[in-house]
Structure 1
């Protein structure tokens, strides 16, 4: 059957997707149905490449998907860092499915359990088409024995994965700083995040690699905590010095 050329075609609008500002050029009559700043050009914010997602910068300059920043902000606002077993306790499946549907629209419903929010952050990393640490040569990761080795290894990550890793390390460090309340130290939080950061195809080496990934995350979290303590000490010293100058 021959198909002829289309007729009576009218160009309504040229719509593009900007990674930082969402959909651009959307006709005003469609705006009530599609959020002006959609979190993703795909139908879902889970299981898709970050290249199709709306991005923004966190307070440390990491360029990450907006949906992660929204989840993090809500988790912190609802006192999730102080909740015992945060990121370890599993939320109800029914609630998570409902929230997923809303997140695809760029909306986080009110009254969501903090364990559900934490679980969705882990799920986002777990369902990436490629794990954050997958660009690293597994042989090099397995050979790491010291903090210097781990730091040298993660420097090989592409910019996108490096930003995601830095973001999640600081998130884990925030959790570990509240260990006296949430019972989650650097090892505990690294243990629950490790399975979500890489995909080892060979089942014979998957367990050993997961343990090494946990060691990598734990080492980087402890390094971040140590750097924070040093920065805080320097600020205290500067404040004391300023106070002495004022007294003189």
Structure 2
């Protein structure tokens, strides 16, 4: 078993040495774990609940994934050809009713209109107590997107190694789903760029889109979307992360 502190330290050092990206210490990640563990009193609820406190489903090749996320993605896979999926808004009244049913333990997504399920999925990420893409890594992720393509991908992968294992599993599952949606863009008109623009405010829980537009705000919105698009477009995320960690570990052993 690898010492996670040493692995994190090695990743942080490599990010600084190879790409000039500085990452703050690991206290925030520990705090997030405590918050996730402390939210277990919200039994039954789906929205606004920490990921670790939600009912989980075991998905082959991914591990434990929140059951709601699996149900929503599975349902939407049947409608992946729908034009404007995630862009078109669902009914506000139906969304409120569906959300209430889900929070009371009802499994109602199979009969819900696809745009309503898509709206709930965005709301699910938006209402998490902490953004699934950790706030303490946002600035570093933005800096990574400004590198050349190959360096951008490597730096983004290294940064993902600093996230909790459960978070990485969920992100791999969800980004693989979004990639499937993007591969049907000739029908649904939702390529990875369009999906990234829509999901960035939800996955990073940002509010810039509601502020007065300025050059700095516009740049930040572009970088937020670029982070999400990098993850959507990256194939075999788990293999890439594992390979990076093995390389880092081998380099550490040589020192």
Same-fold call, TM cutoff 0.5: yes
TM-score by length of 2: 0.65
Structure-2 residue corresponding to 1:243: none
- Partner of 2:156, secondary structure, is helix
More helix by share: 2
Is 1:198 paired with 2:200? no
Is 1:221 paired with 2:232? yes
Map 1:1-248; keep pairs closer than 5 Å. Answer: 41-76=42-77, 79-104=78-103, 105-108=105-108, 111-144=111-144, 145=147, 146-200=152-206, 208-224=219-235
Give distance in 1, aligned partners of 2:110 and 2:193.
31
Distance 1:109 1:130, change over 3 A: closer
1:225, CA displacement in angstroms? 8.2
Distance 1:143 1:130, change over 3 A: same
Distance 1:57 1:206, change over 3 A: farther
- Partner of 1:81, secondary structure, is coil
Distance 1:214 1:225, change over 3 A: farther
Distance 1:59 1:191, change over 3 A: farther
CA contact (8 A) 2:48 2:124 kept: yes
Aligned length: 186
- Partner of 1:82, secondary structure, is coil
Q: Which has the larger radius of gyration?
A: 1
- Report which stretch shifted further, 169-178 or 152-161: 152-161
Give distance in 2, aligned partners of 1:226 and 1:154.
10
TM-score by length of 1: 0.67
- Partner of 2:57, secondary structure, is strand
Give distance in 2, aligned partners of 1:156 and 1:168.
18
Distance 1:133 1:226, change over 3 A: closer
- Partner of 1:57, secondary structure, is strand
Give deviations 1:163-206, integer Å, cap 9, x for gaps: 22112211110101111110111101111110001135897976
1:106, CA displacement in angstroms? 3.5
Give distance in 2, aligned partners of 1:165 and 1:175.
15
- Report which stretch shifted further, 85-94 or 98-107: 98-107
- Bigger relative CO (Cα 8 Å, ≥ 6 apart): 2
